[in-house]
Chains A and B, each alone.
Chain A
Amino acid sequence: MVKELFKGGGKAKIVQFSDDNRSLPDGSKIIYAESEDKIVLYHKAPFQGVTTYVYDRRTGGILVNGREGNNTNKRRMIELGSYFLSNAKDDELVTLTVHTKGV
Chain B
Amino acid sequence: MVQGIPGINPLAAGNLASGASQLSPGLAQAFQRYPALKQVFQALNILPNQVSRVAARQGADLATVSDGLTQIQTVQVSADQAHVLASLGLAGALVAISIQSREELDKIRKRLDKLKQPNIQNPHLQTVFGTLGLPFDADSILLTDESGGVFVILAGLEELED
Binds A, one of B35-43, B47-55, B144-152: B144-152
B95 to chain A, nearest CB (A): 11
Residues of chain A in range 51-103 having any CB-CB distance to chain B below 8 Å = 52, 54-55, 57, 74, 77-78, 81-82, 84-85, 88-101
The contact sample of 19 A-B pairs, CB cut-off 8 A, is: A11-B141, A13-B152, A14-B125, A16-B125, A18-B114, A18-B115, A18-B147, A19-B116, A31-B128, A32-B156, A39-B160, A42-B124, A42-B128, A54-B131, A90-B147, A94-B145, A95-B145, A95-B152, A96-B118
A12 to chain B, nearest CB (A): 5
Residues of chain B in range 104-162 having any CB-CB distance to chain A below 8 Å = 111, 114-116, 118-119, 122, 124-125, 127-129, 131-135, 139-150, 152-157, 159-161
Number of chain B residues close to chain A: CB under 8 A: 39
Residues of A within 8 A of B (CB): 1, 5, 10-16, 18-20, 29, 31-35, 38-40, 42, 44, 50, 52, 54-55, 57, 74, 77-78, 81-82, 84-85, 88-101
Cα–Cα, bound, A89→B129 (Å): 24
Indicate if the CB atoms of A94 and B147 lie closer than 8 Å. Answer: yes
